[in-house]
Structure 1
């Protein structure tokens, strides 16, 4: 089966909502003992092909997203010093470091159950906070309104960093050294002096010009 055929089969199977499609099939199956009409060999084969070609898709989205952002955000006199195009796997400290700024990028859309996304973006916030530099500190995110709303929340920062290894210890050491007693995500964000940008809007505006 060709890859283009596989992708079309999966799209046709999903229709407008995979959940609604599966709910519909489920209701039709209840009470039946033979379901030959639901033989989905072609769909199964297509799904395996799509799964194979979409391996490391998050890394591809991350890399392509940053590359599409650069022409829109870099200034004329700005020079790239380091860049990490592989999501979560690069050896560089930040996704982008120039002579003017350090920046992190997040391209995940926030829908339901955003706990892991909150932890990830808050970890980026803390890493930017703890890095001593005179450069601008920036976050480029999808679902920007939700991210900004999260950064104004009273959620406990310790809970947000409970799975981040030594980052919670580093933040606590920073707070202790500066004689700060804060508990919430909102308070940490207010210390960080980070500007948050809507990465989708930036890319779309640049491409339309």
Structure 2
């Protein structure tokens, strides 16, 4: 039997499995197992021993599927006629269904292992070229060779469902942890902070005190950051338009966003083209033209805005930035 795991191809048969597990001491079974030669092994220990790969790079579900395809009895897979076990049909988790914490962790490990195997953009670019000229019989071979499999899809769907709001968690946690470090003696928060995504009319800024207003952009830039550049510019303009007299601050993660603000020649109007009509109208009423290069806007109209690096006050962010 041949299959692909995280871009690597393996060929295994039942005799190979038996031979590589013969005489091996099974670890205690926690949840999922495979029975080989009358001995029940934790399914991930077994596949790790058979393939010689780290068990953190695949899920228990994927391991059970491969052993089932070879005819072995595993946990949560019913024994079929003639002692052979049929693999479960791969399908995305049902809406509203919840997998266990262990399974979710394994899904995350599978996704991370795939993403670290090679840059995703490189993988996709290579696959796009490889798919030209192929037909229905060769498409699966090329796709699996690139590491795109049912197991990867299932893992990605689980991760997206369970951690789809991770950016919101990061945003809220960054602001909450930064407050004790940035508030000055006697400074008081005067309005409910905006810890969730977006702002509303009653909370126009992420943070408002009796001395400052502040917006936080926590995304880590990695190249091809056009959407982040647009939202950063919108926050900059939003702060520049404030006339309360409080100190405006723009907090970002790392030096790259600040470098962009200081060097970009893109017209501010273009960068604001996908923001709200209200913000664009306020910008045009104040500054009169969309053609101001961003770097000129920063030095001429937004020079009073303080650029701050979140990594300077939160070492965790600094570590993530490398």
Pairwise TM-score range, normalised by the shorter structure = 0.7 to 0.9
Rate the CA distance shift 1:53–1:75 in 2: closer, same or farther, 3 A.
same
- Superposed, which structure 2 residues align to 1:21-170 within 5 Å? 33=138, 35=141, 38=144, 40-82=149-191, 83-90=193-200, 91-164=202-275, 165-170=277-282
Rate the CA distance shift 1:13–1:74 in 2: closer, same or farther, 3 A.
same
1:14-52 deviations in whole A, cap 9, x for unaligned?
Answer: 334352566788899997736399483433322221110
Q: Say if 2:292 is the partner of 1:175.
A: no
Superposed displacement of residue 97, structure 1:
0.3
Count residues in correspondence. 205
CA contact (8 A) 1:154 1:186 kept: yes
Relative to the length of structure 1, the TM-score reads 0.80
Q: Say if 2:117 is the partner of 1:4.
A: no
Rate the CA distance shift 1:48–1:60 in 2: closer, same or farther, 3 A.
same
Gaps of 5+ in 2: 1-98
Higher helix share: 1
Superposed displacement of residue 53, structure 1:
0.5
Rate the CA distance shift 1:25–1:131 in 2: closer, same or farther, 3 A.
closer
Superposed displacement of residue 116, structure 1:
1.8
- Structure 1: distance between partners of 2:194 and 2:221: 23
Query: Per chain length, whose mean CA-contact separation is higher, i.e. which structure has more relative contact order (CA < 8 Å, sep 6+)?
Result: 1
If you compute each CA radius of gyration, which structure gives the higher value, 1 or 2? Answer: 2
Rate the CA distance shift 1:9–1:136 in 2: closer, same or farther, 3 A.
same
Gaps of 5+ in 1: none
- Across the aligned residues of Structure 1 and Structure 2, the Cα RMSD in angstroms comes to 3.3
